[in-house]
Structure 1
Amino acid sequence: MTGSGLRPAVEVVEAGGHVVRIVDGHLLAAEGDARPIGHDLPHRGVELTVDAGGYRARWSRDTFSLPALARVFAGGAAGGALLRLLGLPGAVLGTLIAVGVARGARPACPADLADPAVTVREDGPDLVLSSPSLAALVVAVMELTGAPGPVTVSPASGVAEGVRLADVGGLPDIVAQFRDVAVSFRHPDVMARWGATRPQGILLSGPPGTGKTMLAQALANEIGAGLREIRTPEILDKWVGNSEKNIQRIFAEAREQRSPTVLLFDEFDSIISYTGAALDAAGQMINAVAGIFKQEMNTLIEANPNVIVVATTNFPDRVDASLVRSGRFDLKLTVPLPGPQARADILTRLVRALIARHETPGFRMFADDLDIPALAAATTGLTGADFKEALRRAQLAKAMREARTGAPAPPIGHAELLEALTGLRLAGPPALG
């Protein structure tokens, strides 16, 4: 696939002084359950979704951004003047002014929007906007939130934390199984009618950089669940008895969740293991933590069907089989190094996402000579994480070149991206231009 074939369709809509960029709009149509749309306004408390009934936006009016005036007070000369006159830190006063300005500008009731294609209703403290037109909906949201724009909406425009299963490349079998898990979460009535029990735990194993953590994030987003990530320092403690209390506390909190939650134990082998015969105090503590973990997993799904546990490990041989037996971890999946087709799929998705996010009519990030199959064939052994790093290096090199010379840098070409990819096999930090 060449660079020209990678470029998504971009529709630019200008209305009422607002500019909306809709990337791959034909991919946004949805049937059945609502799914999120990536966009530039999450910091303003906006969520965009699409389903068979059209497009919807939910705006949490308790969320606001500091206006430019408040930023001037918080960090500029005005802040210093306030400090001298009133004896208070300018940044503090600036923040208070920002809160007052934002709250004063926030509508107390649904605004009268000029576009009849957009309907607005109140839902508690939130405003919910609906429209059959995505562009009209986003323009209305920009009017209500005061977003200057332009605003980009796209299935591929989200940040890493917003990744969906559709964004995961090269792992079709695993993605299919994760979709089934998501469906089981969204249809508890059907599961109950058949007396069916979805998997309680999923163990993902495989080499570093193959996307195990990303899969857990994508599953959470697909379900519409919160992601609770557990790392080693949150459990293991040098004081006797504290590690056992920590694991009990984590599961006690999980049992209290009333909304879908993915409980992620990343690098599971470093958090919870099993030593067998404990010869010292540390071994006894590890055994005790493992024992509590097994007991909690035995009853978690009955206590709270809203929670699913995902564990990832690079070293499955270090995890005792009793910890991950069926009934505790019902799905045990290996995430392999990507083959040529999987590498091509991953690269295509990454490049298309960058194009959708950054390219404009006057700026091109990638040249048309990119040959994705050739790049995939030349990168045996590299992972999705490696591809992201190579792209980061190529972007940085271009940005540094333009910053140093003051002249626009040409797009990233095939040879440059290939050099960045093959350079990952060599030790040492990347050059800056």
Structure 2
Amino acid sequence: MDLGNVGILGNPVPKRSHGAVSHLALDIGGSLIKLVYFSRNSEYSMKDKEEKSSNESLLVSSGEKNYPLIEGSLHFAKFETSKINDCLEFIQRNQLHLSGCERLGDTASDKCIIKATGGGAYKFADLFKEKLGICLDKEDEMDCLVAGANFLLKAVHQEAFTYMDGQKEFVQIDHHDLYPYLLVNIGSGVSMIKVDGDGKFERVSGTNVGGGTFWGLGRLLTKCKNFDELLELSHQGNNRVIDMLVGDIYGGMDYTKIGLTSTTIASSFGKAISDNKELEDYKPEDISRSLLRMISNNIGQISYLNALRFGLKRIFFGGFFIRGHAYTMDTISVAVNFWSKGDAKALFLRHEGFLGALGAFVSYEKHGFNDSMVHQLVHQSPISSSHGGYKIHGSQNGELKDNESIECSVYAS
């Protein structure tokens, strides 16, 4: 049973029934709001199972309880936090907030509860109550990031990949040899988390130079109105116009004694010191490129140094700063490869920006909501032909675009 195709979440959710949508979860960050929710296609009973062939079992078991197969889609969407009213309107229009009332069997507004994480879950709690009549049940941000990453690495086929020199290669994750690893989440700022197991982690470092820095400085220097516009602009730029290279200092020569080529950046934005130019004399695309290179390289280097502290070989990078952007990933990978002398790898995640929202999503089961779908999410088995499990099917090229849904189903052995 291969569902296979990705559907765009650009229109309102199909009106099947209030039960069709469940478990909306939010990650409200300083720059972006991320949403994850599940919509059901069908749910089968024991009678249905008897009518199916033995190789299409429709129930999974845990202890003494059987759980029905549920087919549906995991939906992903994001909004700028500064445009939170657009997010509220989206939730209202698609009636996503009703899932919180429904699960409790009560439509009274004061009992509609939605899981949320991030600083905005505190900052905007009153706004969600006022506009939608829902209460945000707040989950710890670091807990959710780790839970979301662990879930993706265990449950999603072709989730992690390497990217260098324009080559993307998916990495098969051994569930029995996943830990420990370093999780680097690049949002407005950057958190670096050493993950030792399910619920076992420590935030070991971070930096305030992250996605918010790129967006903020980029807006001041280029007048771009949003992150994606700034990122798109960088495609057309040439950072060597602004960055001071080793060759600029050594007359076009390499500094071979310490392994630096003439094209290595000696100082980001360094040429602006000696150039007799004003800001308007520089092309916005060159500024954007240099800024992206500086921040990405810095994050890659700091990440490796923290991995080195704990002897970690694998570094997973997440967060919406990356956006699946080739130049960003390549810069991070080159930094990790250079400083580790090829000993460590930078790995990226297809669902990079939704770690916190996914962690909030799976936390429903942790807090005792008796729902078979979440139970199957949390207690899924490794995916293979002989085991049951939760399998997410994505697009053929492995890309996840903004505001998309991924069809999925649960198989029982």
TM-score, normalised to structure 1's length? Answer: 0.27
Structure of greater relative contact order (alpha carbons < 8 Å, 6+ residues apart): 2
Which structure is higher in strand share?
Answer: 2
Which structure is higher in helix share?
Answer: 1
TM-score, normalised to structure 2's length? Answer: 0.28
Q: Whose Rg is larger?
A: 1
